[in-house]
Structure 1
Amino acid sequence: MQKESGGLPFIELPKVDGQEGISLLKGMQVIDLSTSIAGPYGTQLLADLGATVIKVEKPGVGDDARHWGPPFIHGESPWYLSVNRNKHSLMLDLTHQKGLELLERLLSQADVLVVNMTARVQKKLGIDYARLGPKFPRLIHASLTGFGLRGKRSHLPCYDLIAEGYSGVMDLTGEAENDPQKVGTPAADLLAGQDVAMAVTAAYAARERTGKGAEIDVSMQASMTRFMAPRLLSYLSSDELPGRSGGKDSVIAIYQVFDTADKQISLGLGNDAIWRRFWAAMGKPEVGENPRYASNADRRSHRDEIVAMIADILRSKPRDEWLGILAGNRIPAGPINRLDDVARDEDLLEQQFLYQAQTANGPVPQVGLGITIDGGAVVHRKSPPSLGEDTENILSNMLKLSPDEIQQLRDAGAV
């Protein structure tokens, strides 16, 4: 049984209605066959920037993420709601010949197709680039899979957890004495989704010059591994294998979490000027000027004694008092927020980065794009759709099907 959250009883989020939003990609039409998080996140980014996205879903079932819960809000999973804003939902059975025919009619008008199926499944369904590219030479065909379309692992299924394990990020996340940990959000999904949006936008711009579409192949493993580039290149340059260090970075000194008199604080002393400003703010400028700690390399060599000095000082005042002092001296520092702290962040609420939007069944929370274009940051045009809510409109207005034709498709189980 689905557990409902009962609306939004916890935090009063600002209400945002549908509006024009950002229109940089207005005119781009995207057909989205992807499910779960990675692909839908990528297409939501395109939709937030102005593209028209048609989310094609299996009749009666829909996106896998619709079923990820509890909790559920108005019958929908918050996971689904987090990555499907500004889209139109069309129910279409691609295993049905008429369903595939309708997809191709949509593709004849579209610019982009996004899929998150392996090469074998794409070919089985007839939606692979080798088949569709010649029929639609202007089509940008974007695949997002675990390991790419052509590598030795291309046939393998994948989830965020698996990609994080392959990338090395889990081995370096957590305290040294504990087991490897995945990142606390589906990082590989979100990074790969961003790569889809970035590559599609680049291919769209290139098509304006060449008139030709493109095949895009995004791998969750590759996206997540590229995320590790600073750590990976450090190893490749030195053969020094880094280990888990929790919030204590092994390259920058000092860059970690400290206790205060009440709550923890993060502190980053990433260059010599910040180092000197920190000790001046602490009332001990002589430490900042001590040649023993002159460079980052010097400070790394004496990390333990420096950490002990800073820890002793920061325990003397509560967190918020320290944050005021550090902010006043332009020293990078911040709280270790829980999600309930994030959800009540006054700046995020004032900017309407966190907001609520109305659906047919009630209000749902949303996390905005966070990118400002020409002074505007609100992107909300349409709330995440219920399963198939736009089917009738797409078939009748976009594909110009008659009511009788639509009913025949329903009777046949194609939509």
Structure 2
Amino acid sequence: MSQLEKLPRMQDNDGLRLLDGLRVLDMTTSIAGPYATQLLADLGADVTKIEKVGAGDDTRAWGPPFLDGESLWYLSVNRNKASVTLDVSRTEGQAILDDLVRQSDVIVLNMVPQVQQKLGLDFERLHAINPRLIHVSLTGFGVSGPRSSLPCYDLIAEGYSGVMDLTGEPESGPQKVGTPAADLLAGQDVALATLAAVIERQRTNVGKRVDVSMVASMVRFMSPRIVPYLGSGERVSRSGGRDSVIAVYQVFDTADDPVTLGLGNDAIWRRFWEAVDSADYGASEKFRTNAARRNARPEIVETISAVLKTRRRSEWLALFAEYRIPAGPINRVDQVVTDPHLLDDGLFYTVLGENGLVPQVGLGIKFDGQATVHRRPPPALGQDTIRVLQERLGMSEARLADLKNDGIV
């Protein structure tokens, strides 16, 4: 039995309905934008994904790996949405989109300003069509400034932000974070900013122009590193799994597998040494503060290393849990998805898609104890085109047939 088949099966249901009635047009592609709109969809928004005729979202081609012909990257950020194919570069396609805009609350785009204007998707034009529309731009560098026209991917944003320079071992070169961090952080910012704009619109009845930059989101992510530098002038450098502020905050070897350990305050420091039967060492005056421990870090790390190598990781983790000491394993992805606690929380599940089982990672946020967000699997390309245009715009079957023959939908 494959890992996919072992996951709990989720049936399509009502999911969360916090944003019930909020209509979102998702004109984004790749990861950041679709992740943002999936967050809104998970919370109950009605998200319609507008895709290129014939090709669709760029991520539909990202692979291998594929599952039943679908890109697993695409499947990771597109559940709870409807898919409509539409060629907005043509007059008829733009007219259809305008009609959808009139009925929508939010539009999310990840196009640079010049492309928005070329396609008639800029804020000024769409605001004139629907003054209540919240227009959200998600780009690499924002919609203004000298870099506003430049393309961007997660890798580029991570490089600009400084996170790559601080990731990895001191002797290694800069490293990218192991997940598309800039995409996901900027996507979260889009969801947050959209909800803030929706709340303001309840007071003003007027839409908003929202500008989210992947680089800015990633730079803000670096605040705990940037602010200390600005305030002290002390440059930070790569330290691997060893924090440069907290004296003991790193990976240690045990008798078998490595363990993470963070002794972030004085009380935890003392509890650690009590747990390993060396309370006197922990109570030493020369280790009384974190600043003092930083000065003595090489000695402390050598001592802890020797202690932890005497027992297996599972023994240490059980003991540290008893003493409330922050510690844990370094899980591989295949170990993460079999974590009993995460499985019990419903974070991993499968749903039945068009071609078979589809794995998903849940929202992980609970409302009144409820965390089930699934309403429908990620849509096949153009799966909902006919339904959406009939239900929302009242199009006849003959009209839809003509549009399809002309390559508009």
- TM range, smaller chain: over 0.9
- Aligned structure 1 segments of 4 or more residues deviating by more than 4 angstroms: 7-11
Maintained 8 Å contact 2:137/2:212: yes
Maintained 8 Å contact 2:4/2:350: no
Q: State yes or no: 1:140 paired with 2:134.
A: yes
Counterparts of 2:254 and 2:4 in 1: how far apart (Å)?
A: 29
Counterparts of 1:239 and 1:370 in 2: how far apart (Å)?
A: 38
Aligned with 1:17 (options 8, 11, 17):
11
* % identity of equivalent residues: 58
Counterparts of 1:11 and 1:385 in 2: how far apart (Å)?
A: 21
Aligned with 1:279 (options 273, 276, 293):
273
Counterparts of 2:285 and 2:375 in 1: how far apart (Å)?
A: 57
Deviation per CA, 1:140-161, whole angstroms, max 9, x where unpaired? 0000000000011001000000
Q: 2:28 maps to which residue?
A: 34
Counterparts of 2:344 and 2:72 in 1: how far apart (Å)?
A: 22
Q: 1:3 maps to which residue?
A: none
Aligned with 2:88 (options 74, 89, 94):
94
Please give the secondary structure, in 2, of the residue aligned with 1:55. Answer: strand
Counterparts of 1:121 and 1:101 in 2: how far apart (Å)?
A: 17
Counterparts of 1:286 and 1:366 in 2: how far apart (Å)?
A: 49
Q: 1:296 maps to which residue?
A: 290
Counterparts of 1:46 and 1:10 in 2: how far apart (Å)?
A: 26
Q: State yes or no: 1:266 paired with 2:266.
A: no
What are the within-5 Å matches in structure 2 for residues 213-232 of structure 1?
Answer: 213-232=207-226
Deviation per CA, 1:3-34, whole angstroms, max 9, x where unpaired? xxxx9555610100111111111110000000
Structure 1 position 328, deviation (Å): 0.6
Q: 1:305 maps to which residue?
A: 299
Q: 2:375 maps to which residue?
A: 381
> What's the TM-score, normalizing by structure 2?
0.99
Maintained 8 Å contact 2:101/2:126: no
Please give the secondary structure, in 2, of the residue aligned with 1:148. Answer: coil
What are the within-5 Å matches in structure 2 for residues 4-403 of structure 1?
Answer: 12-403=6-397
Structure 1 position 107, deviation (Å): 0.7
Please give the secondary structure, in 2, of the residue aligned with 1:26. Answer: coil
Maintained 8 Å contact 1:8/1:363: no
Maintained 8 Å contact 1:42/1:194: yes
Maintained 8 Å contact 1:39/1:193: yes
Counterparts of 1:378 and 1:174 in 2: how far apart (Å)?
A: 36
Structure 1 position 324, deviation (Å): 0.2
Unaligned runs of 5+ in 2: none
Q: Structure 1: which amino acid aligns with 2:144? A: R
Please give the secondary structure, in 2, of the residue aligned with 1:147. Answer: coil
Structure 1 position 413, deviation (Å): 1.1
Structure 1 position 131, deviation (Å): 1.2
Counterparts of 1:71 and 1:295 in 2: how far apart (Å)?
A: 50
Structure 1 position 134, deviation (Å): 2.0
Maintained 8 Å contact 1:11/1:343: no
Counterparts of 1:102 and 1:205 in 2: how far apart (Å)?
A: 28
Deviation per CA, 1:347-368, whole angstroms, max 9, x where unpaired? 1112211000111210010000
Please give the secondary structure, in 1, of the residue aligned with 2:366. Answer: coil
Counterparts of 2:182 and 2:329 in 1: how far apart (Å)?
A: 25
> What's the TM-score, normalizing by structure 1?
0.97
Q: How many residues align?
A: 409
Counterparts of 2:15 and 2:145 in 1: how far apart (Å)?
A: 39
Q: 1:4 maps to which residue?
A: none
Deviation per CA, 1:305-342, whole angstroms, max 9, x where unpaired? 00001000000001111000000100000000000110
Q: 1:404 maps to which residue?
A: 398
Change (3 A) 1:11 1:179: farther
Counterparts of 2:5 and 2:280 in 1: how far apart (Å)?
A: 47
Counterparts of 2:34 and 2:99 in 1: how far apart (Å)?
A: 22
| RMSD, aligned CA | 0.9
Structure 1 position 72, deviation (Å): 0.3
Counterparts of 2:3 and 2:105 in 1: how far apart (Å)?
A: 41
Counterparts of 1:25 and 1:79 in 2: how far apart (Å)?
A: 25
Maintained 8 Å contact 1:8/1:365: no
Change (3 A) 1:79 1:54: same
